[in-house]
Structure 1
Amino acid sequence: MVALGAAGSFASLPAHAAANSQVSVVHGIPAQPVDVYVNGKKTIPDFQPGKVAGPLSLAAGQYDIALTKPGEAIGQALLTVDDAEVPGGANISLVAHLGTDGKPTLTPFVNDTGKLAAGKARLIVRHTAAAPAVDVRAGGQPVFEDLTNPNEAKADVDAGTVAADVVLAGTDTRVLGPADLDLKEGTATIVYAIGSADDKTLDIAAQTVDGLHSAPGGVPGGNGGRADQGPSLPWYGLGGIGILLALFGLARLAVARR
């Protein structure tokens, strides 16, 4: 049995939660379109690499999931998960991607949809590529080190533009930077590194969750009483920003190698 909440926490969900879960599917296996089956029914036909489908509205329960080449039967599936456990009332991303061994795998992540204070944005970054680790630097010094598959990082940050550079882990080899990143207020931006470094197929897939603005009058309390600091974003301590830029750097490096 695989719990689709494995990469996140349901501690904040009430025990009586019975609402359907919203399940998005991310296709991160390079060069292979697939049909996605849920409980034996073709749910997402001809799903292309790099795309995000859904969200599907699924009731709490167990589901069998299969990925096949387009038009092929479930018995010839490229990848299957039996009895995947979907809780109630969650927002989940199910990512088909390459593991560290380069083989296809499925990894579930729970998406943080908590409300954001005015002027804030949420960044969630997921390393789901068969690719090396990276370090993130500010002022030439690493502030987030050795990021690896299949880990994620997140941060609620000031909406606006930031700049940084990234290097391959443990080296001074710059793969990107300085680069600007624009984060929109009231949204959660989820970025996935997908593909394979060895096969030169590294790429980026992105998913956005909007509508996360806080109700008027409740702005300071959601972030420990901190008021909006405007569009400027201090570098130090914001590892999620660096991860995103690092992943973009790896993708750019792969393109340069082609």
Structure 2
Amino acid sequence: MKRSRWVRIGVIAAAVLAMIGVAAPASASTQPTWRPFGIAQVSVFHGVPDTPVDVYVNGLRVLNDFQPGHFAGPYLLPSGTYRLAITAADARNDRNPVIGPVAVSFARNTSYTVAAHLTPSGSPTATVFTNDLSRTPQGTGRLIVRHTAAAPAVDVLAGGSPVISNLTNPNQAALVLPAGTVDAAVALAGTTAPVIGPAAVPVQAQRDTIVYAWGSATAGNLTVAVQSLRQGSLFDFPWMLRH
């Protein structure tokens, strides 16, 4: 994926955040203290098969030649409402989008993933998912499954048994699990024959592991993509350095 202006937007937002951060007094801890500002965390997932795209925000191309199955971000952006449009990769502007334009709103101190994907019938669409970054108990992580495929309702199987049932596009379900590896598969609802997997999915402590089922059942290209986000506040200073 090519470097884009979206990265610059994230860097600018981070710089603004740095300028409003207030350092602790010299007699206190040397760890900087951050005050909440109008900042949101935003990632983008491309789940439309065989279709490289460009992504425009407020008329500005921020992702160029974005490839299916890939993620961009996460980036820190000023909270507010944005005009999002997704075009063919060779488009010169966002006047003829394949998805949108749509207005998307990002709240302060909140994490989102914008997913471009297929509807159950196979049409391109976009869904904004809110990421729950609340901390799970020590030694556990959160496994989230998002149905973004052109496919009917599915069950998620672990060890051959359903742990999530009748999940439909574009919905999600979450489990809090001990850190480790889960042998997971996806089957059509009410069946146990996998249409995706089985695959070993690592669940990390104090992280959200987000599995996207994407592609098309009719085209026979169903697959998964995995996103990992650290739990905790967006304004935890060490967290920001690592992302």
Pick the TM interval, shorter chain: 0.7 to 0.9
Q: Return the TM-score normalized by structure 2.
A: 0.72
- Equivalent position of 1:105 in the other structure: 125
Report whether the alignment pairs 1:209 with 2:229: yes
1:93 matches 2:117: no
Q: Could you tell me which residue of structure 2 aligns to residue 123 of structure 1? A: 143
CA root-mean-square deviation? 2.6
- Matched residues, number: 198
- Could you say which residue in structure 2 is the equivalent of 1:27? 46
1:121-200 equivalent positions in 2, closer than 5 A: 121-136=141-156, 142-163=162-183, 167-175=187-195, 180-200=200-220
The normalised TM-score by structure 1 is 0.68
Deviation at 1:83?
A: 2.8
Once the two structures are aligned, what percentage of the paired residues are identical? 46
Match of 2:63 among 18, 41, 44: 44
Find the aligned partners of 2:187 and 2:227 in 1 and give their Cα distance.
Answer: 25
The 1:30/1:20 distance shift into structure 2, 3 A limit, reads same
Instruction: Measure the CA separation in 2 of the matches of 1:211 and 1:136.
Output: 23
User: Partners in 2 of 1:138 and 1:177 — Cα distance?
Assistant: 11
AA aligned opposite 1:130:
A
What secondary structure does 2:95 align onto? helix
SS in 2 for 1:207: strand
Indicate if the aligned counterparts of 1:119 and 1:185 stay in contact, CA closer than 8 A. yes
Distance change in 2, residues 1:185/1:195 (3 Å): same
Question: Alpha-carbon deviation of 1:110?
Answer: 0.6
Deviations 1:98-135 (A, max 9, x none): 01121011101110111233211111110100113223
1:70 corresponds to 2:111: no
Following superposition, the deviation at residue 62 of structure 1 comes to 1.6
| Alpha-carbon distance in structure 2 between the residues aligned to 1:124 and 1:145 | 13
Q: Distance in 1 between matches of 2:86 and 2:208?
A: 27
The reply to whether residue 83 of structure 1 matches residue 103 of structure 2 is yes
Higher strand share: 2
Question: RCO higher in 1 or 2 (8 Å CA, sep ≥ 6)?
Answer: 1
- 2: CA distance, partners of 1:139 / 1:28: 27
Q: 3-state SS of the aligned residue for 2:149?
A: coil
In the alignment, the residues of structure 1 paired with residue 127 and residue 175 of structure 2 have an alpha-carbon distance, to the nearest angstrom, of 21
